[in-house]
Structure formats: structure tokens, C-alpha cells
């Protein structure tokens, strides 16, 4: 049984819905320890002062913010407590917007909101109203000691709270050199859309597996049993075709998609092609 990481309420207008917050994502990244190759001893790290080279105990460590090169302001736990945001235990909706108005880059991590018994009807009402209006609620919420921007949206039978990045946390695109001035011919766009259509099919998330992690776990199991892992067949090197016309690349890709098994076949071409204008 999952444990709630936060309990509080959803507030919009004069409506209050008591809820519990549960994580909606399970991280599956493999965790490795660092060991000494000779004797399998764990590698420990020491906290060493960069000035005197001596190890420093936790009791002598403070938080410092570098406001200029090698110039710091130190802050104690009492200092930080003075500026902690008030833990209101509520998700306060400040506005409703269309879901397509929010750039997906702002979304960070989803959480399920489960209603308490006395809030089930109001929960269902808000969920269904959001679905019908195709809108999300923009809210602020304090979890533990940090304030988050968030979006409250309906998904199937649930309300999902999407924690979001603040605007100044998202890197602006003007810091990069994107081909905004590149001219694309209408015929090229038409051909590219034909290729996209030929590779389009309903998305089914459970069809995609982390095959790399599965292979690593299998290797670990074999090693743990004292077996030598079987070496997989070495993939044949891909030939690089020197194609200088983007239309040639698109036409060949389209033929391959039509002759293959749909989108999945087109997504795995037998050779890598370089396209140039």
C-alpha cells in the first residue's frame, strides 16, 4: 500500500476538498555502489576542507551561498527557518487555463490526489468539470519546506497534480542557435507529412520496455549465480549512404514505411542516412 507524502485540501472558490498526495511515478534507475576492484570494499568519501586539507565533522559544516567568486554568505538552519514559506496544507487554485496554454517544458513531476471519504463527491465534481471545460487549475502548494507552482488536471477517474518549474527555471530558447531562418520548400513539408502519416499509430506506453536495464539485470543475475554472461551477437555496422537531396531521403523512407510493418518498421531503418540540402 502506497503511503501519502502529503495531506491537505484542494481549495477553489469556497469549495474545499480534503485529499492525500501520492507519487505517480516510480523511478527504476539502477543504483550502483562504488567498490575497490581488488577487495570489493566500499568506497567512502571524506569531507575535506579545501584550505587546511583536514577532514571536517558535520558539526562544523554550514551552508554557504557564493555571491561572487570565492566570496560566500553563510546561513544557519535558524536563518532558513525564518524565511520558510507557511505550510498551509492546501492546494490553492488561483486560476483556470486551457491545458494547451501551458508549455509542456514547465511540467516536472506528477502526483495522484486521492480524496478523503467526505470529499469524494466534490472531488468527482471538480474532475468532471475540468474534463468538460478542457482546463487545468493553476495552483501553489507547499510540500515539506518548499513552495511549488503546479497544475491540477483531470486524468481518467483521477485528479493529478503536476508540479511545475517556475519561468526563471526554464532555459530560454534564445540562448541557442536554432535554424529559424532556414527556408523549407512546400514540397519537402508535404513529403515529410506523408512520412509522418505512414508512421502514425495509437500510442501504447506498455509496448515500450527499458531493454537496456533488463539486459543489465540479467547480467547481474548471471554474475550472482557465478555464471559467465553470454555475449550477444555483435551488431553489423550500419552503412552510411551519401544522400545529398532531402527529398531522396524522404522518398526512400516513405517507401520503406509502406513496404515494412508500419510505424515500427520505419522507426528502425536498416541503414543510417545523412540528409543534406
pLDDT tens profile 196-239: 888 888 988 888 787 777 777 887 887 788 887 677 666 666 65
- Kindly indicate the confidence band of residue 244, based on its pLDDT and cuts at 50, 70 and 90: low
How far is the C-alpha of 26 from the C-alpha of 110, rounded, in Å? 11
How many other CB atoms are found less than 10 A from the CB of residue 111? 22
pLDDT tens profile 64-80: 989 888 888 888 877 77
Scored b (16 or more CB within 10 A) or e, 132-164 reads eeebbbbbebbbeeeebbbbbbbeeeebbbbbb
More confident residue, 39 or 28: 39
- pTM recorded for the entire structure: 0.68
What distances in angstroms separate CA 137 from CA 15, 22, 134, 143, one per listed residue?
A: 14, 18, 10, 18
Continuous segment of H or E residues that includes residue 240: strand 240-243
Contacts of 233 (CB under 8 A, 6+ apart): none
What's the fold here for domain 6-25+84-169?
Ku70; Chain: A; Domain 2 (2.40.290)
Instruction: Identify the pLDDT of residue 226.
Output: 80
pLDDT tens profile 124-180: 999 999 999 999 999 988 887 788 999 999 999 999 999 999 999 999 888 888 888
Cβ(161)–Cβ(19) under 8 Å? no
Q: φ, ψ for residue 251 (rounded to 5)?
A: -65, -45
User: What is the pLDDT of the chain when averaged over all its residues?
Assistant: 82
Can you name the residues that pair with 9 across neighbouring β-strands? 18, 90
Q: Show the CA angle centred on residue 231, arms to residues 227 and 233, nearest 5°.
A: 155
Residue ranges covered by each domain of the chain: 6-25+84-169, 182-199+237-277
Measuring CA to CA, which residue among 260, 264, 135, 136 is closest to residue 208? 264
Amino acid at each position: 500500500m502506497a503511503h501519502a507524502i502529503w495531506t491537505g485540501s484542494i481549495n477553489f472558490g469556497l469549495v474545499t476538498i480534503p485529499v492525500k498526495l501520492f507519487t505517480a511515478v516510480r523511478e527504476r534507475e539502477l543504483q550502483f555502489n562504488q567498490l575497490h576492484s581488488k577487495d570489493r570494499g566500499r568506497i567512502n568519501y571524506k569531507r575535506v576542507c579545501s584550505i587546511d586539507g583536514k577532514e571536517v565533522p558535520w558539526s562544523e559544516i554550514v551552508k554557504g551561498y557564493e555571491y561572487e567568486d570565492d566570496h560566500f554568505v553563510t546561513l544557519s538552519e535558524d536563518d532558513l527557518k525564518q524565511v520558510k514559506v507557511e505550510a498551509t496544507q492546501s492546494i490553492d487554485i488561483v486560476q483556470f487555463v486551457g491545458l494547451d496554454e501551458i508549455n509542456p517544458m514547465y511540467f516536472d513531476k506528477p502526483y495522484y490526489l486521492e480524496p478523503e471519504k467526505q470529499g469524494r463527491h466534490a472531488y468527482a465534481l471538480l474532475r468532471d468539470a475540468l474534463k468538460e471545460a478542457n482546463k487545468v487549475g493553476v495552483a501553489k502548494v507547499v510540500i515539506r519546506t518548499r513552495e511549488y507552482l503546479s497544475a491540477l488536471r483531470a486524468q481518467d477517474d483521477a485528479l493529478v497534480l503536476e508540479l511545475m518549474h517556475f519561468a526563471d527555471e526554464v532555459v530560454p530558447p534564445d540562448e541557442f542557435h536554432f535554424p529559424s531562418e532556414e527556408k523549407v520548400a512546400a514540397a519537402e513539408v508535404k513529403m515529410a507529412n506523408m512520412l509522418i502519416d505512414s508512421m502514425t499509430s495509437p500510442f501504447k506506453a506498455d509496448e515500450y520496455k527499458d531493454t537496456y536495464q533488463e539486459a543489465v539485470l540479467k547480467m547481474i543475475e548471471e554474475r550472482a549465480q557465478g555464471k559467465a554472461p553470454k555475449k550477444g551477437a555483435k551488431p553489423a555496422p550500419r552503412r552510411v549512404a551519401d544522400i545529398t537531396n532531402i527529398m531522396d531521403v524522404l522518398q526512400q523512407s516513405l517507401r520503406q514505411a509502406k513496404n515494412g510493418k508500419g510505424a515500427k518498421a520505419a522507426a528502425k531503418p536498416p541503414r543510417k542516412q545523412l540528409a543534406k540540402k
